[in-house]
Structure 1
Amino acid sequence: MKKVRLSMVASLLLGLYASLCGMAAQASPPLVLLPETSYFSIAQYVDVLEDPNGTLTIQDVSGAAHRDDFHPAFPQGNTQLHNDINFGHSASSYWLRLAVDSREALTHRMLFEVAFSSLDHVSFYTSAANGWQRLDAGDLVPFAERPVAHRNFVFPLMLSAGQQMLYLRVQSSGTLTIPLHLWEENDFDNYNHETYAVLALYFGIWLGLMLYNLLLYFSLRERVYLVYVGFVASLAVGLMTLSGLGNQFLWPNWPAWGNAALPVGFAAAGAFGIQFTRLFLDTKKNTPRHDLALQGLLAFFLLTLLACAALPYRWGALAVSALGVITPLAVISSGIVCLRKGHPGAHYFLLAWTLLMVGVSIMGVRNMGWVPTNFFTLYGIQIGSVLEMLLLSFALADRIQILRREKDVAQNDAIHAIGHRLKSVINTIPDYIFYKDRDGRFLGCNKAFESLLGRSESELIGKTIYDFFPEERARYFSSQDKQAMAGKAPHRYEEWMPAADGRNIFLEMIKTPLFGTKGELLGLIGVGRDITERQRNAEQERTRNMIFELLAKGGELPEVLLQVVRTVENVRSDLLCSILLLDDAGKHLLLGAAPSLPDAYNRAVHDLPIGDGVGSCGTAVFRGERVIVEDIYKHPYWIPFTEILALAKQGGLVSCWSEPIRSSNGKILGTFAIYQGQPGVPNASDIEMIQQAANLASIAIEHKRAENLIWHQANYDSVTHLPNRRLFHDRLEQEMHKTHRINQALALLFIDLDRFKEVNDTLGHDVGDLLLVEAARRISACVRDSDTVARIGGDEFTVILSQLEGVHRVEPIAEQIIETLAMPFQLGDESIYMSASLGITLYPNDAVTVEDLLKNADQAMYVAKSRGRNGFSYFTSAMQEHAQSRLRLIKDMRGALSAKQFRVYFQPIIDLRSGEIFKAEALIRWQHPQRGLVNPLEFIPLAEETGLIVDIGDWVFHEAAEWMRRWHTQGYSCKQVSVNKSPNQFLRDEKNEGWVAHLRKIGLPGECMVIEITEGLLLDARAEVTQSLLNFRDAGIQVALDDFGTGYSSLSYLKKFDIDYLKIDRSFVRDLASDPNDLALSEAIIVMAHKLGLKVVAEGVETIEQRNILLSAGCDYAQGYLYAKPIPAEEFDALLAGGKLFV
């Protein structure tokens, strides 16, 4: 009955469509333009003249010779106003004439439209003052040359009052359909916008259809959907060409392709459409004869498609039109046969393709010129394709549902068949066995699995894992199912699963995909084995070994406890664990480890008092027994603690079980607590697991406390808890090493409490101990946290003041210690007045070993004590003398330059390979009239502080340059002289360019001079520093980096500032032969420098062994006492003149 109704509907639609196609338009004489009319369909006003040879001109057809040869395009009296002129396929050219009678001159522009985009040549003629004006268009003319940019052929027209003649010449190798319209320009624009919107919607629907079916193909992998995509795409190309959108938007500059796209697109669409019919209806099986016919048509379409590339457009278009008439018969008849045979999608297919093929046929017969052209014949294929698209979408959707139902039925039947055969077998197996379909629905299980879940098989069938487990747990099981079904081999894994009896069992699970006879996936079968006991034993052993390993490696207690907690949480992912430690006073619980609990909750329970009824943990520790709270929001132990309950609620905590942690002798050390996100109590296996975790925590706590106690007793004073002599020695060695590396100062203070023995003997040892404790507290309050205060015996204390920026900071600290110890000590009822004697020694000024420093400080302390106590003394009077000497030295230095007391000395720098004096470093000496030679280390820092360094530096540079000019002129081996320039010189010297100017003045090349700078300068990003270095580089003056590696990490600046030499500091060179670290650092500096293209100079070379090591390492130059001390300029001049080699 359904099929009969569909047939009746189809017949009704076909009859209605045919009657609409037969409508014709009536022709009339001259077109009279009325001002209120903005649109005219003008075919009935047109006269036509055929030009078979295409030789007539506008002058010919407008003249008297051919004027009467025109005939009306339509018979007189035709009342159908919307007919379009159609000559079918014709090789002739046609002239169309239109008489326009305008009652008045039009002030606005009109547009003359030929509304068919597939015409090769169109010429439009209007009368002009000097003859005829011609405008050309056509689909063989580049789109940019059209008079109006439009998908059809549109010509602008201005009309004056009276009658005017318009001529149109049309020629095309395809069908000659000529719809003619005359528009007022504004109305044409409005109509045009509407038309483009409709076309955009139309082709958008086609694009959506292609994408939809392409997605179906990738999802189902059925070729029919891909073929249909090809059909839709090919038909879209033809329709885009037919509508003119192709020429306008896709290939505006390729008119030849635009001419061929129409037959190519429709030929390809026909081929894909035939193949789609064969696949969709399965004609090879359902109607073999029709299948042979369809194969023949497919071959003709493919031949036509190939021929379109070689044959003229006209023949290709004729062939496609002819095939378009024949194809519906074969396709529709195939659909009818399949419908009779009960094909499930044939009714949709038949109706859809009937409508499309009617549209294609109408286009074909219209192209042949057998029916008149109107809206329905012009747009028949578009109308048919829209209807086809909608109906065929239903057919494809219906096809998916049918295939899915068939596959589901087959799948379930196959699985049920397997299930019945296995049922009797699997029920006898103790392992847990179940099987599911590919959507995760249970299809059956054995008796063991029923007892595991506490559900009968009938309750399981048809349900999924989500019906029996919380969502997070079910998601995990489901992911394992999918992983198993994604592969071919069995999927093995292990997992904890809650059993119906409350136990948590550890399963070894094997899930194997099940496939049908054709290789299609049906589902899976799962087999689980209980290995709980084996797993717990292995986990306990692994955790115990891990804890002992951490303890053996010196791991900190929080790290060890964290591992214990993580172990339990890994075994049971639904549990959150916490370890709280009882404080030394035995009154409060302190957080030990709780990585998974909220931070706010951990902060709230930290420092929680213990007591009966103080939560689960406080009660467990107070009573020394396990406390289990099933629901903390209802239990009296928890209700008073509203703040903690609120934080617990935020963290999703509901139940809490707490197990006391006991030492080996039964003392309570803390508690191991477990939280759950739901009400509950532990089962036997849970309690066993908690006890094992508490035992491991106990081992860790006792071990670390014993270890800490032993270390503390070995390194700290038992009375004052300050570092003892042993730890003091270690700290002092560390600070000395650090001070040496960073080139700063260190002070050691030795403090002795005056007359302490009298107090200790008089008031007793207890009071003496209290006095020592208070003295230790006062001394510690006077120094920084980074400093070290130690008690090394009796009433003797030491203080290490490290990383001092200057020794001047020592004295205020010493004074503060003296003052604070002189204040009265209130010890019980006794007020005791004490004083202290303090000795100070400095590193490295006074000594370089721990023993010597301690001895020096002790001696200085006795000096202070001998001076009357309650004071301090330096190891020597060097600091007092230094301060006075400093003032005198600054005063004398101010006049030393003008008094010519400075001398320039040179120290040779030797080429290690040749032994020649290749360079020299210029050094300054001060010949003081009273003191003799003053060490530069004494006066250079003062010169920098006072700013005299600028003038002194200029003097050294000028002197060195003069000597270098002499050696350069004499051709001596010394090629360069190095001059030191400190950061203060760069920042204070406004004459940085003066050095370059001086070299130019004396005619000395810049390459003869080297400026030595420190690493710290490279870190100074000030503009004047950078500019000075750039000025030196531009003048050819090279730059050497002095004391490299001793203070700053300046490697990133080496290339930025174009450094030429690195000078290895003497501190690395000194112990080359004995210290592997210094050797490694020196070799690394040399390799790095050479990689960067830099030369290396080693300072402080004093032995042949050092020289040989440096030479083997690839060092370029050496400087040191092995070769020569710094010597006066005259002596160095003589040395060069002698040409001495150092080998």
Structure 2
Amino acid sequence: MPAKRYAHPARAASLPRLLLVCCLLLASQLCLAATRLDDASAPQDLYGLVDFLADPQGTLSLDDVRAADAPFQSSRSRRDLSFGYVPGVIWLRLELQSDAQQTRVWRLELNYASLDEVRLYDIGADDVRQSRSGDTVPYAERAVGHRNPVFEISLQPGEQRTLYLRVDSRGSMTLSGALMSLRDFEQHSQNGYLVHAIYFGVLVALGLYNLLLFLALRERPFLNYVLFMCAFALSVLSLNGLGAQYLWSDAAPWSNRMLPVSLTSAALLSVIFARSFLDTRQWLPRWDRVLQVLCGATLLAVLATLLLPVQTALQTMSLTGLIVTLTLLLTSFVCVGYRVPGARLFALAWLMLLTGAVLLALRNFALIPSNFLTLYAMQIGSGLEMILLSFALAARFNELKRQREAALQLNEQILAKRVTERTLALEQANQRLRELALQDPLTGLANRTALQQHLEQALARSLRRNELLAVMLIDLDGFKPVNDRHGHGFGDLVLAEIAERLRQYVRDIDLPARLGGDEFVVVCENVQSAEDAQDLAKRLLEGLDTPMYLEDRAVRVGASIGIALSRGSDDATTLIRLADAAMYRAKAAGRNRVQLDAAHP
């Protein structure tokens, strides 16, 4: 009995361990379960099929990763197969089992062309088959001639093979891909090349069109646009692997650095294009200085992408692209507020590119999943941007053309106005010559003869227009004592100062004149009322009553002003006589005041 009592707890304690071992064995079998392929198998996404192993130091060999204790993990433990910028090497493992009735050829494709080197170890009963691909591998040495890393897998009926992919890249470790039959791959590949052909066909058409516009119009923004488009096209060619396939197929090491150099150069040229397109030097001088600094910083970034390690260069590229795109987008929004021609379409275009650049950068840093939209976000955004920028250039050109035509019309109007003004100036000069003969030599005011002529003409105008005209006769108060005390020379200075003050305080349409001695006359046309005339006279009186400082001496003289009003029915002599009579009444009333003729209308 005691033995049975102690044996039962022992069996109970071993049961959890047994269950744990079974679970581990079952999980191991699930992880190593082969992907079964038959004659009708559809394309298989690698996510969920492959296991992965991170090798940060890049020191593991094939034998190391084939060992039973190699710490592979199921890809389903991750969101996707985008690892971002990570050091070292990533290994992928895939077990395949053929259920086909005959030998079938399959294609395994990683759909990110910027992977540096991908080695495939295809292990089966016939030992190990090795092949490699990637953008640092010369095109002629790739396992399958394609813009992306593609490998051929041949499976006989019932055959089981294990695939190990060793991926080494200084760029983003985007390892998404698919396994598909040869027929499906050919259809998939043709569709992909067709899409890229349409994309680049649009770029080439837009580039040639705007180049012809530049040659015809000699407008600098068109050339800057073409240069920006060429640099950006090179970056897209590098990004999707077409450059390594068609342009620099033998320059494999350069192919690895072409993407950061070309894309950062495109960022630099985009700033140059934006400055010329938005004409920030004229519209936004302060923003233009910021863009100049940005040009210098972006140029340094271009040099950095040539010298820094590739992974750092790619990160510099992503950061520079985001900063430039955000800055230009903000600049375009400010230009929209200032109504800069073409700024609205420019802002919309850069918003499209920013969306694509942000999605690409976030995918490169493994912050968002890798899928068709994020993988081709830059191409989609840039395609829309290039089209919108072309429309913006056309809209800007039309607006500038309209502005030039308006400016031409304005210049013609200004020219006609200047001709009229010069003709008038010539007439005025001739008139001035005539006036010089009618000036008082001491004060420069009109003399008695000029006063008589002007007053007769003013009366005729007042009669014709039925306007009120005022004649103000001004006689200085206290001038004789100044003249007697300081001499006639000083008295002449006082009279000249009085004349200057008359010019200062009368209206532009009024005529000041000197009758003789210390008597002056002001003829005021277009006077609204008797009160208006009195207000004008009081302003003159206040100005004349201000102390004068001449030859270090301060003197002060007042004045008595008489006003005569007429609507043109009186003659000049009568008006002066009536104003003179009103002036004497002002003196009799106490001097230094204004007196209106009692018989005014």
TM-score relative to the length of structure 1: 0.33
Q: Show the counterpart of 1:335.
A: 332
Contact persistence 2:206–2:387 (CA under 8 A): no
Contact persistence 1:335–1:349 (CA under 8 A): yes
Q: Secondary structure at the match of 1:354?
A: helix
Q: Show the counterpart of 2:348.
A: 351
Q: Secondary structure at the match of 2:307?
A: coil
From the superposition, tell whether residues 333 and 159 of structure 1 become closer, same or farther in structure 2 (CA, over 3 Å).
Answer: same
Q: 2:113 matched to 1:117?
A: yes
Residue 44 of structure 1 aligns with an amino acid whose one-letter code is G
From the superposition, tell whether residues 95 and 106 of structure 1 become closer, same or farther in structure 2 (CA, over 3 Å).
Answer: farther
What's the CA shift for 1:241? 0.6
> How big is each residue's C-alpha offset from its partner over 1:208-255, in whole Å with a ceiling of 9 and x where there is no partner?
111122222222222222111111000000000111111111011111
Instruction: Choose from 379, 396, 399 the match for 1:399.
Output: 396
What's the CA shift for 1:41? 1.6
Q: 2:178 matched to 1:178?
A: no
Instruction: Choose from 383, 386, 391 the match for 1:386.
Output: 383
Q: 2:258 matched to 1:254?
A: no
What's the CA shift for 1:416? 4.5
Give the whole-Å Cα distance in 2 for the aligned partners of 1:133 and 1:253: 24
Q: Show the counterpart of 1:211.
A: 208
Residue 124 of structure 1 aligns with an amino acid whose one-letter code is L
Instruction: Choose from 235, 238, 246 the match for 2:235.
Output: 238
Q: Secondary structure at the match of 2:306?
A: coil
Residue 352 of structure 2 aligns with an amino acid whose one-letter code is L
Residue 76 of structure 2 aligns with an amino acid whose one-letter code is F
> How big is each residue's C-alpha offset from its partner over 1:576-620, in whole Å with a ceiling of 9 and x where there is no partner?
xxxxxxxxxxxxxxxxxxxxxxxxxxxxxxxxxxxxxxxxxxxxx
What's the CA shift for 1:95? 0.5
Instruction: Choose from 128, 132, 136 the match for 1:132.
Output: 128
Residue 31 of structure 1 aligns with an amino acid whose one-letter code is T
What's the CA shift for 1:163? 4.5
What's the CA shift for 1:191? 2.2
What's the CA shift for 1:288? 4.2
Q: Show the counterpart of 1:278.
A: 275
What's the CA shift for 1:336? 1.4
Q: Show the counterpart of 2:185.
A: 188
Where do residues 498-509 of structure 1 align in structure 2 (5 Å cutoff)?
none
Q: Show the counterpart of 1:57.
A: 61
Q: Secondary structure at the match of 1:370?
A: coil
Give the whole-Å Cα distance in 2 for the aligned partners of 1:360 and 1:244: 18
Give the whole-Å Cα distance in 2 for the aligned partners of 1:162 and 1:289: 70
Contact persistence 1:238–1:262 (CA under 8 A): yes
Give the whole-Å Cα distance in 2 for the aligned partners of 1:421 and 1:333: 43
Give the whole-Å Cα distance in 1 for the aligned partners of 2:116 and 2:370: 19
Contact persistence 2:305–2:317 (CA under 8 A): no
Structure number with the higher helix fraction is 2
From the superposition, tell whether residues 322 and 420 of structure 1 become closer, same or farther in structure 2 (CA, over 3 Å).
Answer: closer
Q: Show the counterpart of 1:164.
A: 161
> How big is each residue's C-alpha offset from its partner over 1:919-972, in whole Å with a ceiling of 9 and x where there is no partner?
xxxxxxxxxxxxxxxxxxxxxxxxxxxxxxxxxxxxxxxxxxxxxxxxxxxxxx
Contact persistence 2:137–2:252 (CA under 8 A): yes
Greater relative CO, 1 or 2 (CA 8 Å, sep 6+): 2
Q: Show the counterpart of 2:82.
A: 86
Q: Show the counterpart of 2:74.
A: 72
What's the CA shift for 1:265? 0.6
Residue 211 of structure 2 aligns with an amino acid whose one-letter code is L
Give the whole-Å Cα distance in 2 for the aligned partners of 1:227 and 1:425: 44
Q: Secondary structure at the match of 1:104?
A: coil
From the superposition, tell whether residues 292 and 33 of structure 1 become closer, same or farther in structure 2 (CA, over 3 Å).
Answer: farther
Report percent identity of matched pairs.
38
> How big is each residue's C-alpha offset from its partner over 1:437-473, in whole Å with a ceiling of 9 and x where there is no partner?
xxxxxxxxxxxxxxxxxxxxxxxxxxxxxxxxxxxxx
Contact persistence 2:342–2:392 (CA under 8 A): yes
What's the CA shift for 1:30? 4.8
What's the CA shift for 1:348? 0.7
Contact persistence 2:305–2:316 (CA under 8 A): no
What's the CA shift for 1:105? 5.0
From the superposition, tell whether residues 360 and 191 of structure 1 become closer, same or farther in structure 2 (CA, over 3 Å).
Answer: same
Q: Show the counterpart of 2:151.
A: 155
Report the aligned-residue RMSD.
2.5
What's the CA shift for 1:306? 1.4
What's the CA shift for 1:417? 4.5
Instruction: Choose from 221, 224, 230 the match for 1:224.
Output: 221
Contact persistence 1:106–1:158 (CA under 8 A): no
Q: Show the counterpart of 1:145.
A: 141
Q: Show the counterpart of 1:42.
A: 46
> How big is each residue's C-alpha offset from its partner over 1:502-532, in whole Å with a ceiling of 9 and x where there is no partner?
xxxxxxxxxxxxxxxxxxxxxxxxxxxxxxx
Give the whole-Å Cα distance in 1 for the aligned partners of 2:101 and 2:111: 26
Instruction: Choose from 308, 311, 332 the match for 1:311.
Output: 308
Give the whole-Å Cα distance in 2 for the aligned partners of 1:287 and 1:98: 59
What's the CA shift for 1:58? 1.6
Q: Secondary structure at the match of 1:309?
A: helix
From the superposition, tell whether residues 348 and 140 of structure 1 become closer, same or farther in structure 2 (CA, over 3 Å).
Answer: same
Q: Secondary structure at the match of 2:108?
A: strand
From the superposition, tell whether residues 424 and 228 of structure 1 become closer, same or farther in structure 2 (CA, over 3 Å).
Answer: closer
Q: Secondary structure at the match of 2:69?
A: helix
> How big is each residue's C-alpha offset from its partner over 1:2-30, in whole Å with a ceiling of 9 and x where there is no partner?
xxxxxxxxxxxxxxxxxxxxxxxxx9975
Q: Secondary structure at the match of 1:87?
A: coil
Contact persistence 1:88–1:366 (CA under 8 A): yes
Q: Show the counterpart of 2:317.
A: 320
Q: Secondary structure at the match of 2:212?
A: helix
Give the whole-Å Cα distance in 1 for the aligned partners of 2:163 and 2:102: 16
From the superposition, tell whether residues 126 and 190 of structure 1 become closer, same or farther in structure 2 (CA, over 3 Å).
Answer: same
Residue 303 of structure 2 aligns with an amino acid whose one-letter code is L
Give the whole-Å Cα distance in 2 for the aligned partners of 1:288 and 1:415: 30
Q: Secondary structure at the match of 1:50?
A: strand
Contact persistence 2:124–2:160 (CA under 8 A): no
Give the whole-Å Cα distance in 2 for the aligned partners of 1:295 and 1:74: 48
Give the whole-Å Cα distance in 2 for the aligned partners of 1:64 and 1:139: 32
What's the CA shift for 1:167? 1.1
> How big is each residue's C-alpha offset from its partner over 1:283-336, in whole Å with a ceiling of 9 and x where there is no partner?
344444443433333222211211222222222111011112222321111111
Q: Secondary structure at the match of 1:53?
A: coil
Residue 268 of structure 1 aligns with an amino acid whose one-letter code is S
Contact persistence 1:90–1:176 (CA under 8 A): yes
Q: Secondary structure at the match of 2:163?
A: strand
> How big is each residue's C-alpha offset from its partner over 1:760-816, in whole Å with a ceiling of 9 and x where there is no partner?
xxxxxxxxxxxxxxxxxxxxxxxxxxxxxxxxxxxxxxxxxxxxxxxxxxxxxxxxx
What's the CA shift for 1:424? 13
What's the CA shift for 1:419? 5.3
What's the CA shift for 1:168? 0.5
Contact persistence 1:287–1:334 (CA under 8 A): no
Residue 178 of structure 1 aligns with an amino acid whose one-letter code is L
Contact persistence 2:36–2:97 (CA under 8 A): yes
Q: How many equivalent residue pairs?
A: 392
Where do residues 1062-1141 of structure 1 align in structure 2 (5 Å cutoff)?
none
Q: Any unmatched runs of 5+ in structure 1?
A: 1-26, 427-1143
Contact persistence 1:351–1:391 (CA under 8 A): yes
Where do residues 889-904 of structure 1 align in structure 2 (5 Å cutoff)?
none
Contact persistence 1:104–1:162 (CA under 8 A): no
Residue 220 of structure 1 aligns with an amino acid whose one-letter code is L
Contact persistence 1:119–1:172 (CA under 8 A): yes
Give the whole-Å Cα distance in 2 for the aligned partners of 1:223 and 1:248: 33
Give the whole-Å Cα distance in 1 for the aligned partners of 2:248 and 2:191: 23
Q: Show the counterpart of 2:36.
A: 32
Residue 75 of structure 1 aligns with an amino acid whose one-letter code is S
Contact persistence 1:29–1:44 (CA under 8 A): no
What's the CA shift for 1:418? 4.0
Contact persistence 1:38–1:183 (CA under 8 A): yes
